[in-house]
Amino acid sequence: MSAVTTRRVRSRAAPPGERRPLFGRDARAGYGFVSPAIILMALLVAYPLLYGLYISVFDTNLVNKWDFVGPQYYERAVTSSAFLGSVWTTLVYAVLVVAGTHVVGMALALALNRRGLIVSLFRIILLLPWLFPEVVVALLWRWILNPVYGILNHILMGVGIIDQPVSWLESPALAMPSVIFASVWKGFPLVMVLLLAGLQSIPAELYEAASIDGAGKVKSFLHITLPGLAPVLLVTVILETVWWFKHFTIVWLMTGGGPVDATSVVSISIYREAFQNFNFGQAAAYAAIVFAICLAAAGLYRKVIRDER
């Protein structure tokens, strides 16, 4: 670059500490580049959220009835034992599913963090549950757990663990564990893939240095692997928590919220209010509360990870 060109570039650059105008030439160009993404986000994210909040303060049929009720539906939600019970059921369900997917995903990621044709084949096979649609997963596990022709009862009776068929999805004590197991089976491949990518980004020199210093596998895992995976774990925990806290498909198709509301998660409560009771305002208020809970959980996870660092 010539001296003349260098002087011209320096003359165009803003002096240190000087703020560029918000609507200058460069700023307008930047706004033009980001405007398609902003418009898309506004249409797909902001508008549905704002419209849902708007509905939550009206007694409406979404056509010609719009009676303003203010925060009445929110007050009814926080004082409803049925809704609070569904929130607690959802919390238990989400926590156990997230814990299960991370335990299984971490174990498989550690086992598959190596090279080889067999390992690559197992990676492909273990990804299959994630590729199946949730409807297929729910129906598949309903057939497996069926008390009449389900293969699980057949296997357990064959090995002598049980002496008669078990109604897995009709028992209040067994329905929730069954749904959690099916959800973990569906969700662990995503966690496994993300953690496996995180493991491969950790420098091998750290493990070699730890081995030279006499650190075993447990200490290496606690002091190298987990800190190295902290950013990935933050993402997976937030995504999995939000996803399973608002989950609907697998639970609804496997149990319909029963038996005796044993698996009545909050998404089923929203569905029933909106499409069975046609109380759209109350359903929108439920959904707004769920959104607030998920947002608070994401903020809490970020704070915990930052404090641990």
pLDDT at 24: 65
Note the pTM of the prediction, 2 decimals. 0.84
pLDDT at 47: 87
pLDDT at 5: 47
pLDDT at 10: 46
pLDDT at 122: 87
Is 251 contained in some domain?
yes
Is 51 contained in some domain?
no
pLDDT at 169: 94
Q: How far apart are CA 172 and CA 263, in angstroms?
A: 8
Is 167 contained in some domain?
yes
Is 243 contained in some domain?
yes
Is 215 contained in some domain?
yes
Q: Where are the beta strands (DSSP E) in 71-222?
A: none
Closest among 137, 186, 140, 146 to 169, alpha carbons compared? 146
Q: How far apart are CA 158 and CA 156, in angstroms?
A: 5
Name the pairing type of β-strands 66-68 and 58-60: antiparallel
Q: How far apart are CA 214 and CA 231, in angstroms?
A: 27
Q: How far apart are CA 89 and CA 262, in angstroms?
A: 8
Per run of 10 residues, the mean pLDDT along the chain (length 309 residues) is 47 52 69 85 85 92 88 92 93 96 94 86 89 94 92 92 91 94 95 92 86 83 88 88 92 92 93 92 93 87 64
pLDDT at 20: 60
**CB-facing half-sphere around the CA of 110: CA atoms within 13 A:** 12
Is 179 contained in some domain?
yes
Domain of residue 143: give its range. 72-308
pLDDT at 208: 85
In this structure, what are the phi and psi dihedrals at residue 124, rounded to the nearest 5 degrees? -65, -45
Is 54 contained in some domain?
no
Q: Total domain count for the chain?
A: 1
CATH number of the domain at 77, please: 1.10.3720.10
pLDDT at 210: 85
pLDDT at 23: 63
Is 298 contained in some domain?
yes
Q: Where are the beta strands (DSSP E) in the chain?
A: 58-60, 66-68
